[in-house]
């Protein structure tokens, strides 16, 4: 046993007392003995065991760190499902213009048009248009004439399916006026070749009302014809578009 592991100790053993007759000797009562006691040292940890425990502790810390990172990521990541929200309502008094035409009316250039296929005289046709809140059409631009000329080609079934427009010289021959009383201007005249001719063979009163339309199309949009106001024809009614307030609806 190594010397460093030995603990020395003095132990005193007391002998039983003798009879009184016996001579007393202090040294005779005590016996000394040397006892070697092994000192127990705590076992030293094996380097392999210590390395294994360190690895387990690191593994545990790594798992805790991963769990913490996942938790933080879940809190900061935006949700993949975004709930739809309604757009804010418009400010009080604000609105967006919304052009509208009634059922059976077609919209173009700020106006509404109705291509009436029922045949009637010029005056009767005008009364019908007025009952619908409009009047026989007044053509104010080349663009409007172009729109109507193209549209009538789709509506007409044959060459004689022409339409009354709001133009007449019934008050003064040769002075053509629109239904609103305005004079027909030169740049917006779309008379077909040889028109107006005020032909009186069918009606002695002549031809004082204008109609339009060419099924096969017209050169330079010229498809107006004067005709007897008494003859029944189809007609084009016109009125201004309606403006309203657009609704904001959340669906």
pLDDT digits (tens, 9 = 90+) for 179-195: 999 999 999 999 999 99
CA distances to 33, 34, 37, 194 from 3, in Å = 19, 15, 11, 146
- % of the chain with per-residue pLDDT over 90: 56
**Residues 26 and 110 grouped into a single domain:** no
| Same domain? 111 vs 233 | yes
Instruction: Specify burial of residue 162 (Cβ count, 10 A radius: 0-12, 13-18, 19+).
Output: buried
**189 class by beta-carbon count within 10 Å (0-12 exposed, 13-18 middle, 19+ buried):** middle
* Domain membership of residue 22 as a residue range: 3-38
| pLDDT for the residue numbered 221 | 97
pLDDT exceeds cutoff 90 at 11? no
What mean pLDDT comes out for the span 63-81?
A: 69
For β-strands 163-168 and 233-240, DSSP reports them as: parallel
Same domain? 9 vs 111 = no
pLDDT tens digit sequence for 13-47: 445 554 444 444 444 454 444 545 555 555 555 66
Please report, rounded to a whole number, the percentage of residues in the chain having pLDDT higher than 70: 66
pLDDT of residue 164 exceeding 60, the answer is yes
Q: Is the pLDDT of residue 63 over 90?
A: no
Separation CA 212–CA 145 (nearest Å): 10
Domain CATH code at residue 159: 3.10.100.10
- The Cα–Cα gap between 184 and 178 comes to 7
Whether residue 69 lies inside any domain: the answer is no
| Between residues 5 and 126, the one the model is more confident about | 126
- Name the 3-class secondary structure at 131: helix
Question: Of the segments 53-57, 71-75, 199-203, which one has the largest average pLDDT value?
Answer: 199-203
pLDDT at 204: 94
HSE, side-chain direction, 13 A CA sphere, residue 181: 0
- On whether residue 112 sits in a domain, the answer given is yes
* Total domain count, the chain: 2
pTM for this one? 0.60
In sequence order, the 6+-apart residues with CB closer than 8 A to the CB of 158 are 215
Establish if 80 belongs to a structural domain: no
Q: Does 76 map to a domain?
A: no
């Amino acid at each position: 046993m190594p010397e460093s592991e030995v603990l020395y100790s003095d132990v005193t053993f007391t002998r039983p007392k003798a009879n009184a007759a016996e001579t007393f000797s202090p040294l005779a009562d005590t016996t000394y003995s040397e006892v070697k006691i092994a000192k127990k040292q705590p076992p030293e940890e094996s380097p392999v065991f210590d390395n294994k425990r360190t690895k387990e502790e690191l593994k545990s810390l790594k798992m805790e760190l991963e769990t913490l990172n996942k938790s933080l990521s879940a809190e900061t990541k935006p949700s993949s499902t975004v709930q739809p929200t309604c757009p804010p309502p418009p400010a009080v008094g604000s609105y967006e213009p919304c052009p509208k035409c009634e059922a059976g009316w077609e919209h173009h250039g700020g106006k509404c048009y109705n291509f009436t296929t029922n045949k009637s005289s010029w005056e009767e046709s005008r009364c019908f248009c007025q009952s619908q809140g409009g009047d026989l059409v007044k053509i104010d631009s080349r663009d409007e004439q172009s729109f109507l000329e193209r549209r009538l080609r789709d509506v007409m079934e044959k060459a004689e399916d022409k339409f009354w427009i709001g133009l007449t010289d019934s008050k003064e021959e040769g002075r053509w006026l629109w239904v609103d009383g305005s004079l027909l201007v030169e740049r917006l005249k779309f008379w077909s070749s040889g028109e107006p001719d005020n032909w009186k063979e069918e009606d002695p009163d002549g031809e004082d009302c204008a109609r339009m339309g060419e099924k096969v199309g017209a050169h330079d949009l010229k498809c107006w014809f004067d005709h007897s106001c008494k003859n029944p024809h189809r007609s084009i009614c016109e009125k201004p578009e309606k403006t309203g307030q657009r609704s904001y609806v959340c669906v």
